[in-house]
Amino acid sequence: MDVTKLKAIDVHVHAEVSCHDPEDPVMAEFFDAASAYFKADRKRPTIPETIAYYREREIGFCLFTVDCESSLGAKRVSNYEIAELAADNLDIVIPFASIDPRKGKLGAREARDLIENYGVRGFKFHGIMQDIHPADRIAWPLYEVIAEHKLPALFHTGHSGMGTGMPAGGGVRLKWGEPMLIDEVAAAFPDIRFILAHPSWPWTDQSLSMALHKENVFIDLSGWSPKYFPPQVIQYANTQLRHKMLFGSDFPLIKPEKWLEAAQDAGFREEVLPLIMKENAIKVLGLA
């Protein structure tokens, strides 16, 4: 990846449609509700369509699925499918994997294989959809593999658009999105670069505190339009956390160009925007 040719790097892009398998019926219900909540197109792009979309806009991106097979019984998009498609498009795609932490040592084996043989560059966790405390010891073998290879791990934090509007919120529990639950893991694994996804509302200040406190904790600003960010996010992005904030969209629910357009008027200082849009991600993702 030649980062000099990229206008930005989006660290939060979802792969929700397999090229080989039909849409999972369990996830379809969540996608219906999320599309209504975000006022987004219900049709999900394929991975090749997503790659073409980002290449046209000259934006590099991290691509991942969410493995919630144990908690929801929903079949995931294969990490191997993502990695193999990314391998042919490494000028624009940074492949991440998602492995249900409850898969324990078997999940750790998959992680090692994906890293060493398929070029995966990071991992995605979603405690709410996976129905698990981030510090549950069953996840330790998986974290140990990520730490051994010194890769980033991106954790969902805050409110979940997934499940919003469904009966009983789709049965998923928002408590697992509290950022401070990840603090124990960040303290135990200094070789992992932890990316806390989203502005973390209603626990925004927890994420800011963790990023301020721990050298290995960063924040991605995906899932919200910048025009709706809590004021303290802008305040810290402009000052003490200027090197800790990353651009993320949450595509396909939020389009990257819409996020970047809104960011111009959100109150970020002129010299801070290039850090958020690309420079910070280059360092966190090890692209330099």
Residue pair 111/143 in contact (Cβ under 8 Å)? The answer is no
Q: What are the pLDDT digits (tens) for 49-68?
A: 999 999 999 999 999 999 99
CATH fold of 3-284: TIM Barrel (3.20.20)
Q: What are the pLDDT digits (tens) for 179-232?
A: 999 999 999 999 999 999 999 999 999 999 999 999 999 999 999 999 999 999
Amino acid at 130: Q
Name the average pLDDT for the chain: 96
Average pLDDT score over residue span 137-165:
97
Amino acid at 225: S
Q: What are the pLDDT digits (tens) for 231-275?
A: 999 999 999 999 999 999 999 999 999 999 999 999 999 999 999
Please give the pLDDT value at position 288: 80
Amino acid at 173: R
- For a pLDDT cut of 90, what percent of the chain falls above it? 97
How far apart are alpha carbons 135 and 206 in whole angstroms?
16
Average pLDDT score over residue span 2-10:
96
How is the chain split into domains, by residue range? 3-284
